[in-house]
Amino acid sequence: MRRASDRLLCVLALALAPLAAQAQSFRQIVPIFAPDPQAREAIRLRGAASSGLKQIPREVVEEAVRRIYTAYNTPEFRQYLSERFYDPERLLDAVNEKVPREARLRLISVNSAQTVSQQQVKDEQGKLVSESLVLVVAKAQLEFTTAAGFQRREGESELVLRFREAPR
């Protein structure tokens, strides 16, 4: 089975915030709180200096992957590409121009899903939201028809899904 190592950085915009230009391309500090007044304030507000990492439920992740793959080669695909995805318009233009119009991406299996980080960030409107990064390995096949007949292209991809939800 061929392995496609395309890394897809996607937004599953649970808050449905418009994707504005907020695309820092190098890492940010996720603070490790020490017992100082600031941390005590954080505890008062949130219950712990560093809130525990809660895995995004697998069914939510699978549903997200299914929605993304179903949207492939349709106008809806655009909404799932993060502003942090490298050259999103170029990918969309290439799919629009080069992939057969009736081609569909069939999800075969979601092999693993792991929430690797969670932090509070400001969204495009400046509101605090909880952002989770989830690494997913999924198998899929592109199906289309050419003059040579039915075509099936299998691949395994690692996706980075970004889930956002507004905190309390």
Partner 1 sequence: MSLRIALALVCLCPIKTNSQESEGWDWRGQTTLRIENYGTRGDLSATPYPFSNTHSAFGLNFDAEKRKSPFDFSRFSFTGTQSLSRYYSTRDGFFPERINFTQQSGTASLPYQLQAGDYLGAFSMRTLQTSLRGGLVELQPQSGSADRRHSFMLLSGAAGQNYRQFQLRDNWFNGGSYLYEARGLGRFALNWVNNFRQDDAVAGTLARSQNVWSGAAEIPFTLGLQSMRFETEYARFRGDHDGLAGAASGQGRKDAGFFSELVSRGSKELTPLNWRVRFERYGKDYRPAGAVVSPDRISREVYAGWRFASALDLRGRLQMYRDGWDSGNLTRTNTGGLTLTGPLLAALLPGWTGNLDTYLQAIQNRITPVDTRVLSLRGDASRTFPGGITFRLGAGYLDNDARATPAGGAITRDVLATVSHRAQVAGWRGSVSYGGTLRQIDGGASSSRQFLPLASLGLAQGRHSVLASVSYAHLNQLDPLQTDTRSTITAIAYRYDLPKDKLGVEINTNYRNAVPGSYTEAYRLMFTWTHLFEKTQVAQLGRAPLGPAPGTGALDLRELAPGKQIQSLENRLQALGLRAATRPAPNLLVYDYRLLEEIDQRQRLAILTLAGEVDRSGLVIDFDDVGSVNTVAQVFERVRQSLIRRHGAPSSVFNRGDFRPTLVDDINTDQFIRLSEWRTAEGTIRLGIPRRLDRIVRMEVQVARSFPDPTQTRWSFDDLR
Site for partner 1 in 74-113 (CB under 8 A): 75, 78, 86-87, 89-90, 93, 96-97, 100-102, 106, 108-109, 111-113
Residue 120 bridge partners (DSSP) = 130
> In angstroms, what is the minimal distance from the CB of 4 to partner 1?
11
Is 14 an interacting residue with respect to partner 1 (CB under 8 A)?
Answer: yes
Supply the DSSP symbol for 167: -
Number of residues this chain uses to bind partner 1 (CB under 8 A): 80
Q: What is the DSSP pairing of strand 149-165 with strand 7-12?
A: parallel
121 versus 133: smaller Cβ distance to partner 1:
133
26 versus 71: smaller Cβ distance to partner 1:
26
Give the whole-angstrom CA distance, residue 100 versus residue 139: 20
> In angstroms, what is the minimal distance from the CB of 106 to partner 1?
6
- Contacting residues for 48 by C-beta, under 8 A, at least 6 apart: 42
Q: Which of residues 35-74 bind partner 1 (CB under 8 A)?
A: 35-36, 38-39, 43, 46-50, 52-53, 55, 57-60, 63
In a 13 Å sphere around the CA of 88, the CA atoms on its Cβ side amount to 16
Give the whole-angstrom CA distance, residue 139 versus residue 152: 13
Structure tokens at 61: 């992740």
Supply the DSSP symbol for 14: T
Other CB atoms within 10 Å distance of the CB of residue 96: 13
> In angstroms, what is the minimal distance from the CB of 9 to partner 1?
8
Is 5 an interacting residue with respect to partner 1 (CB under 8 A)?
Answer: yes
For partner 1, which residue of 4, 66, 122, 167 counts as binding (CB under 8 A)? 167
Phi and psi at 56, nearest 5°, equal -65, 125
Q: Which of residues 106-165 bind partner 1 (CB under 8 A)?
A: 106, 108-109, 111-117, 133, 135, 137, 139, 141, 143, 145-147, 149-150, 152, 158, 160, 165
